[in-house]
Amino acid sequence: MTTKAFIAGCAGLELTEAERAFFARSQPWGFILFRRNIADRAQVAALTASLRAAVGRHAPILIDQEGGRVQRMRPPNWPAYPAGRWFGQINDPLRRTALARLSARLMAHDLREVGIDVDCLPVLDVPVAGAHDVIGDRAYAFQPDEVARIGRAAAEGLLAGGVLPVIKHMPGHGRAGADSHLALPRVGAALDDLRSHDFRPFRHLADMPMAMTAHVVFEAIDPSAPATTSRKVFRRIIRGELRYDGLVMTDDLSMKALSGDFAERASAAYAAGCDMILHCNGVMDEMARVAEAARLLAGAAGRRAKAALARIAHEPEPLDRGAVADDIARILAAAG
């Protein structure tokens, strides 16, 4: 069967028969896991195997494993990783990036062990004073170049461990005054300010294989639509000024920043220039509407998807997991 350009979630710790049949019929390119899908190593490994069996191929499986408050795989079965800001607060620049890379390399080991091969990390958003805390300490720093340096270290750590990074939230969510899970943020900053601050880390990491959009309106570019559904933002900024030619997926289509039914949301995102639709909550009626609107994965989107997966067609870099985990735990304990 032909693969479709969307990523789906599932409802629980194991697939229902209805989910198996739906995934076999609709053929999403990949899947994403959340806390509701996570119990222990054996269960997650079984679930990822079941998802791939449902579509009859080695579909990519994603997760948001950032550290801090956004960490789907948690203790006691997995380490507690620090939030991004922790790395930015380390005084020594070399130690800062080295620890970000090591932490991401360890995450990659944890993910690969249970069949997950894409992590929605690094967060490249750059907060400003007065912005909503939805990004907050998920951001590495308040300086764009520092965000870029630490973000690259994290991305390279994931890649070394055989896991694809997803840079987010392109072209920047750090200035938003609202949580896009709940409302549509509007940013009124001048274009020159956006270029020098918000967009800058994404330009530095434009070689990364995958990116996730921001459900944010940038009034200086397109006051009528958020970046996810804005053809102007895609043409002028994402594919234009940022020169990004990797696979671009939406942020979760079920977030309240977007309007319209789910087929309309998917169609608007494709029309804007998104390669891949992301729907996370596992609600069958919503997924069915997304699947109806989903495009076949072909053309430029198909090329980008193939190129992204080619970045992990290698044996992971050697890792002494126990030693690295102990080192990071000691450093975190010493930092308080």
User: Which residue in 251, 252, 275, 279 is the catalytic one?
Assistant: 251
Name the one residue in this structure whose structure tokens are 């309240």: 256
**SS3 at position 37:** helix
8 Å CB contact between 64 and 35: no
Q: Which residues make beta-bridge pairs with 211?
A: 167, 248
Q: Which residues 6+ apart lie within 8 Å of 66 measured at CB?
A: 81, 83, 84, 120, 121, 123, 138
Which one-letter amino acid corresponds to residue 233? V
User: In whole angstroms, what is the distance from residue 224 CA to residue 220 CA?
Assistant: 10
Q: Which residues make beta-bridge pairs with 8?
A: 31
Q: DSSP class of residue 102?
A: H
| Sign of the dihedral through C-alpha 184, 178, 195, 152 | negative
Whether 275 is catalytic: no
Whether 133 is catalytic: no
User: In whole angstroms, what is the distance from residue 33 CA to residue 10 CA?
Assistant: 7
**SS3 at position 224:** coil
**Strands across the sheet with 28-33, in order?**
247-249, 210-213, 164-170, 118-119, 61-63, 28-33, 4-8, 277-278
User: Which residue in 181, 207, 261, 314 is the catalytic one?
Assistant: 181
Cα-trace Rg, the chain:
19
CB atoms under 10 Å from CB of 132, counted, come to 18
8 Å CB contact between 158 and 108: yes
Phi-psi region of 4 (alpha: psi -120 to 50; beta: other; left: phi over 0): beta
Q: Report, as residue numbers or ranges, the catalytic residues.
A: 181, 251
